[in-house]
């Protein structure tokens, strides 16, 4: 990473994904940006000999750890922090170290969902609305909301069941 | 209930708890961790949530270009800073400056000839007499350690009592004699393996590291206090607001403004100034534009005479002054060159890849070369063999 151009290109190609990776844990725009920048700064200063692919994996691990620290400092509910720690442990080690293949497949699977299911997922997980709220807005039952989510879960499971 | 139903139930529970995830209860957490299916569903849902957030139309994307610009600015990355600076000189009680300029030619470095296994020599021992020499303007040379007090007085210096407080090394200190000719210029040089501490006429304290040379006047005259350095030194600069302290090396100029800092000027291609505390300005050897750096920053000299400024870890500069070898994430090549210079031994790398290994290493210089080798070998990354005055890294 001594090479400025390689570093700049890594920064520009990975920043967005790392940002959203941070954001999905901590739900804070500015803090997510700071965390990602911090991780890059460390890489720039200390990872002179590492190859870019290894650095990428490292960046995810670093962002993840910084997110957990951030949550701790924010005095976020301890069980939530532990939940984040646990669910991110596996993925951060395997997935992000690779080329992001898993993310690509997930994305492909999500594309096959009906617009309706997608919309409900977005309301719940992007706009962070409560199931009850979404049910009310869409004039459906709460259990119908959960069924749409179950459909998404099944779809991505099926995608990974194909070759694994 | 069959397995599929169980799995479905686990997934349902995961979906339910996603609705109040930030308030997940201890019971739910425990249940999640003890049920692999529920746990997997949670992982998947978190990933769905992440990807949808990234892809959602209307969700603001971070501005990457702006982030990159901010990042560069904040970390002084590839930013060649040239500015006009306020010429304010700060006066502070003790100003510590360390100046490093290594003599070793890094030209001995890589001969990357694939296919050959000849060891690469990264440091060559010197067989000259290992003495601390003071030279006067007239060319008269005195071996400080052997010289009697009368000899020293005659050339205009006096020996000071060594500083042995709290187990600090007893430097063979030297001060300007009040009766010295004001125009007299001295050159003090240290050999490998010996450092030296002295007082300049303005009260500035200098610790000169091994294989270094300091040229200084018996008395400072003129608008600035100027000394010339080759090698490495630490300066505790006496404050004098009217007369800044300027340290010149072949590649760098450092102007002290009230500061604790470190200048590392290896060859022209590896020259650094590192600021520990306070304020300092640097310029290239011939430059007239000084740039100011902030504490914790390191300015590296670029080919075109400008500086690349970024943040660094200061521990190694501080430890070095205190009699330790301290390296954090430094290449083995550099560590071995430093050991070679201090103990005056030749260093060869049979195992070339090892030159690039980055290591964390701390050793007391007083403990000796064999102890340092023992510590390095204990890491089990390389094996260093000592044969007389030659070290071979295998």
* CATH number (domain holding residue B110): 2.60.120.1440
Q: Distance between CA atoms of B133 and B160, rounded to whole angstroms?
A: 16
Q: Is residue B287 part of a domain?
A: yes
What's residue B38's pLDDT?
Answer: 92
| B238 in the same domain as B207 | yes
| B172 in the same domain as B257 | yes
| B287 in the same domain as B221 | yes
Q: Show which of B288, B318, B348 is a domain's final residue.
A: B318
Look at the block and give the residue holding tokens 């993925």. Answer: A91
Q: Distance between CA atoms of A115 and A128, rounded to whole angstroms?
A: 18
Look at the block and give the residue holding tokens 């002295």. Answer: B198
| B357 in the same domain as B305 | no
Q: Residue A102 contacts by C-beta under 8 Å, 6 or more apart in sequence? A: A91, A94, A95
What's residue A118's pLDDT?
Answer: 92
Q: Distance between CA atoms of B316 and B336, rounded to whole angstroms?
A: 15
Q: Which residues of B are less than 8 Å from A90 in CB distance?
A: 43
| B333 in the same domain as B312 | no
Average pLDDT, chain A: 84
Numbers of helices and strands, H then E, in chain A:
8, 0
DSSP conformational letter for B211:
S
Band of the pLDDT at B317, cuts 50, 70, 90?
low
Q: Give the alpha-carbon dihedral of B363, B365, B367, B372, to 10 degrees.
A: 50
What's residue B70's pLDDT?
Answer: 85
Q: Count of domains in chain B?
A: 3
ipTM for this prediction: 0.90
What's residue B170's pLDDT?
Answer: 35
Q: Distance between CA atoms of B209 and B202, rounded to whole angstroms?
A: 21
pLDDT at B118 over 70: no
Q: Which residues of A are less than 8 Å from B28 in CB distance?
A: 79
Q: Is residue B81 part of a domain?
A: no
Q: Which of A92-106, B221-235, B248-262, B379-393 has the lowest mean pLDDT?
A: A92-106
Q: What is the CATH number of the domain that holds B387?
A: 3.55.50.30
Q: Which residues of B are less than 8 Å from A79 in CB distance?
A: 24-26, 28-29
pLDDT tens digits for range A74-128: 878 888 888 888 888 866 655 555 556 778 888 888 889 999 999 999 999 988 8
Beta strands B232-237 and B252-265 are unpaired
Do A87 and B23 lie within an 8 Å CB cutoff?
no
| B303 in the same domain as B216 | yes
Structure tokens at B103: 């003599």
pLDDT at A13 over 90: no
Band of the pLDDT at B318, cuts 50, 70, 90?
low
What's residue B159's pLDDT?
Answer: 65
Question: Is the CB of residue B277 less than 8 Å from the CB of residue B265?
Answer: no
Question: Is the CB of residue B325 less than 8 Å from the CB of residue B338?
Answer: yes
DSSP-assigned beta bridge partners for residue B234: B98, B207
Average pLDDT, chain B: 73
B200 φ/ψ sector (left φ>0, alpha ψ -120 to 50, else beta): beta
Question: Is the CB of residue B186 less than 8 Å from the CB of residue B199?
Answer: no
Using CB atoms, pick whichever of B39, B44, B329 lies closest to residue A46: B329
Q: Is residue B362 part of a domain?
A: yes
Q: Distance between CA atoms of A99 and A56, rounded to whole angstroms?
A: 9
CATH number of the domain at A106-163, please?
A: 1.10.10.10
DSSP conformational letter for B166:
G
Q: Is residue B63 part of a domain?
A: no
| B33 in the same domain as B167 | no
Q: Which domain holds residue B246?
A: 95-117+126-318
Helix or strand run (H / E) with residue B320: helix B315-321
Band of the pLDDT at B58, cuts 50, 70, 90?
low
Beta strands B120-123 and B346-349 are antiparallel
Q: Which of B224-238, B241-255, B304-318 has the lowest mean pLDDT?
A: B304-318
| B331 in the same domain as B311 | no
Do A106 and B48 lie within an 8 Å CB cutoff?
yes
Using CB atoms, pick whichever of A12, A83, A126 lies closest to residue B64: A12
Structure tokens at B60: 């603001």
Percent of chain B predicted with pLDDT > 90: 6
| B189 in the same domain as B40 | no
Q: Distance between CA atoms of A71 and A84, rounded to whole angstroms?
A: 10
Question: Rounded to two decimals, what is the model's pTM?
Answer: 0.44
Look at the block and give the residue holding tokens 């442990």. Answer: A89
Nearest to B39 by CA among B47, B49, B29: B29
Report how far apart, in Å, the C-alpha atoms of B135 and of each of A74, B59, B203 are: 63, 72, 20
Helix or strand run (H / E) with residue B120: strand B120-123
Q: Distance between CA atoms of B44 and B52, rounded to whole angstroms?
A: 12
Q: Distance between CA atoms of B392 and B287, rounded to whole angstroms?
A: 41
Q: Distance between CA atoms of B326 and B313, rounded to whole angstroms?
A: 11
pLDDT tens digits for range B142-186: 777 777 767 777 676 766 655 443 333 333 446 666 555 666 788
A158 to chain B, any CB pair closer than 8 A? The answer is no
Q: Is residue B69 part of a domain?
A: no
Q: How far is B25 from chain A (nearest CA, A)?
A: 6
| B297 in the same domain as B232 | yes
Percent of chain B predicted with pLDDT > 70: 71
Q: Between helices B36-55 and A4-26, what is the axis angle to 10°? A: 120
Helix or strand run (H / E) with residue B237: strand B232-237
- Higher-scoring residue by pLDDT: B299, B348: B348
DSSP-assigned beta bridge partners for residue B197: B207
Look at the block and give the residue holding tokens 């069980």. Answer: A79
Q: Which of B36-40, B94-98, B131-135, B136-140 has the lowest mean pLDDT?
A: B94-98
Q: Distance between CA atoms of A5 and A11, rounded to whole angstroms?
A: 10
| B331 in the same domain as B273 | no
Q: How far is A37 from chain B (nearest CA, A)?
A: 7
Q: Where are chain A's structural domains?
A: 4-99, 106-163
Band of the pLDDT at B121, cuts 50, 70, 90?
confident
DSSP conformational letter for B53:
H
Find the mean pLDDT for residues B319-346. Answer: 82
What's residue A152's pLDDT?
Answer: 93
Count of other CB atoms within 10 angstroms of residue A138? 15
What's residue A121's pLDDT?
Answer: 93
| B257 in the same domain as B233 | yes
pLDDT tens digits for range B342-371: 888 889 998 888 888 888 888 888 778 888
Q: How far is A41 from chain B (nearest CA, A)?
A: 7
Q: Distance between CA atoms of A1 and B332, rounded to whole angstroms?
A: 18
A137 to chain B, any CB pair closer than 8 A? The answer is no
């Amino acid at each position: 990473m001594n090479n400025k151009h390689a570093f700049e290109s890594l920064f520009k190609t990975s920043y967005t994904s790392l940002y959203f990776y941070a954001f999905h844990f901590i739900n804070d725009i500015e803090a997510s940006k700071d965390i990602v920048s911090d991780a890059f700064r460390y890489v720039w200063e200390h990872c002179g000999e590492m190859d870019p692919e290894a650095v990428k994996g490292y960046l995810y691990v670093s962002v993840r750890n910084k997110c957990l620290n951030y949550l701790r400092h924010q005095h976020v509910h301890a069980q939530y922090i532990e939940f984040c720690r646990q669910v991110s442990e596996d993925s951060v080690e395997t997935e992000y170290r690779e080329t992001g293949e898993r993310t690509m497949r997930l994305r492909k699977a999500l594309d096959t969902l009906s617009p309706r299911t997608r919309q409900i997922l977005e309301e719940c997980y992007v706009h962070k609305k409560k199931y009850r709220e979404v049910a009310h807005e869409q004039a459906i039952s709460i259990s119908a909301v959960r069924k749409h989510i179950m459909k998404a879960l099944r779809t991505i499971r099926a995608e990974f069941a194909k070759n694994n | 209930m069959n397995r599929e139903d169980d799995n479905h139930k686990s997934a349902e529970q995961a979906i339910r708890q996603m609705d109040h995830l930030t308030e997940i209860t201890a019971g739910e957490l425990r249940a999640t961790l003890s049920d692999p299916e529920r746990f997997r569903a949670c992982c998947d849902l978190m990933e769905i949530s992440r990807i949808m957030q990234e892809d959602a139309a209307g969700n603001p994307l971070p501005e990457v270009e702006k982030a990159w610009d901010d990042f560069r600015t904040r970390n002084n990355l590839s930013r060649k800073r040239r500015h006009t600076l306020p010429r304010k000189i700060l006066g502070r009680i003790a100003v510590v400056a360390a100046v490093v300029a290594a003599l070793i030619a890094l030209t001995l470095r890589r001969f990357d000839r694939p296919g050959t296994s000849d060891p690469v020599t990264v440091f060559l021992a010197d067989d000259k007499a290992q003495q601390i020499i003071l030279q006067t303007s007239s060319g008269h040379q005195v071996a400080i350690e052997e010289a009697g007090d009368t000899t020293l007085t005659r050339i205009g210096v006096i020996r000071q009592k060594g500083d042995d407080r709290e187990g600090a090394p007893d430097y063979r200190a030297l001060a300007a004699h009040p009766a010295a000719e004001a125009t007299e210029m001295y050159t003090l040089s240290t050999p490998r393996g010996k450092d030296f501490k002295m007082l300049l006429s303005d009260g500035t304290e200098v610790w000169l590291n091994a294989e270094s040379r300091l040229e200084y006047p018996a008395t400072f005259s003129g608008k600035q206090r100027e000394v010339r350095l080759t090698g490495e030194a630490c300066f505790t600069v006496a404050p004098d607001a009217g007369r800044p302290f300027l340290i010149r090396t072949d590649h760098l100029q450092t102007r002290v403004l009230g500061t604790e800092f470190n200048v590392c000027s290896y060859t022209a291609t590896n020259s650094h100034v590192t600021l520990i505390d306070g304020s300092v300005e640097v310029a290239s050897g011939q430059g007239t534009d000084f740039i100011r750096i902030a504490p914790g920053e390191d300015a590296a000299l670029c080919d075109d005479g400008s500086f690349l400024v970024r943040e660094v870890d200061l521990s190694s500069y501080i430890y070095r002054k205190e009699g330790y070898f301290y390296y954090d994430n430094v290449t083995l090549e550099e560590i071995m060159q430093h050991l070679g210079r201090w103990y005056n031994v030749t260093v060869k790398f049979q195992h070339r890849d090892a030159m690039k290994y980055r290591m964390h290493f701390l050793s007391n210089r007083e403990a000796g070369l064999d102890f340092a080798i023992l510590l390095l070998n204990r890491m089990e990354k390389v094996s260093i063999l000592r044969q007389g005055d030659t070290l071979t890294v295998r």
